[in-house]
Amino acid sequence: MSLNSVQPVGDMATRRSLAAPHPVMAFWHTMVGKKVVMAVTGVVLVGFVIAHMLGNLKIFSGPDEINAYSRFLREVGEPALAYGQLLWVVRIVLLLCVALHITAAAQLSRISWAARPVGYKVKRNLETTFAGYVMRWGGVLLVAFVIFHLLHLTAGAVGFHAGQFIGIEPNEKRIKEHLDNSLMLVTALNPHIGYEKAAKISLTAYHEDLSLREAALKLDFLTAEQFDAWVRPDEMTHPLAGQL
């Protein structure tokens, strides 16, 4: 072996490190790796949607509950973390998941197309469901919604703004007319006359173009005094109305 063929140990180690990519990156560059990334990020995003939904359902428990939930999201982690800091960490993780999910999906599609550069003369999707067929377009719509949602409720850049409705006066007569003709008020009668009679009142009002009060009196299921005492829209406009 000639002296020219002998290479310094440092150069050999450097070349070996360049030739062997990081295991994580090597896994990412495989189709299986990209599918695993899509699966994991998908689980994270679905979990966030479920948790987000459960948290927002607190709005039906009253303003105190939803306000307490909002404060918790910003104060969690204190004093180790600053106000709202953990919330931003979660946001960054979610944005990374979205970016990785979209990138993996796009790269997998390109790999699939490159594997067959010549298209099928006749193509029949024998095993593909409708959900699988429109999945990509559903993802595009979801991304558009997420962007709008963040601009609307997080940044406040779009949507309603302060003072937008100044000068608009409610038409109380028209509001009362719509309220009196609302068939949804019939639910207030269920505890008193039962579901079957309440449903019959609602159907009669709908088919004969009557108000609930007129239909109830026509069917003689209750008196005018009973209807006025039981159907109180002002007592049906808060989350705990049925429990008071």
Going from N- to C-terminal start, the domains of the chain cover 7-115, 172-243
Which tokens in the block code for residue 92?
């960054």
- Global pTM value: 0.56
Give the model's confidence band at 131: pLDDT under 50 very low, under 70 low, under 90 confident, else very high.
confident
Joined tokens for residue 128: 């593909």
Taking the CA atoms of residue 95, residue 98, residue 99 and residue 100 in that order, the dihedral angle to the nearest 10 degrees is 120
- The alpha-helical segments, DSSP class H, found in the chain are 9-19, 23-28, 31-56, 63-75, 85-115, 130-133, 135-149, 172-180, 190-193, 195-207, 212-219, 224-230
Residues 6+ apart with CB under 8 A from 222: 189, 192, 193, 216, 230
Token pair 């998908």 is found at: 42
Backbone angles phi and psi of 20, in degrees to 5: -105, 105
Least confident of 117-121, 175-179, 227-231: 117-121
Please tell me the predicted confidence (pLDDT) of residue 244.
46
More confident residue, 21 or 181: 181
DSSP 150: I
Per-residue confidence (pLDDT) for residue 70, from 0 to 100: 87
**Phi/psi of residue 237, nearest 5 degrees:** -105, 10
How many Å apart are CA 156 and CA 153, to the nearest integer?
5
Pick the CATH number of 172-243 from 1.10.3720.10, 3.10.50.40, 1.10.40.30, 3.40.50.9100: 1.10.40.30
Q: Is the pLDDT of residue 86 over 70?
A: yes
Residue 240's pLDDT band (cuts 50, 70, 90): low
Of 163 and 112, more confident: 112
96 pLDDT higher than 90: yes
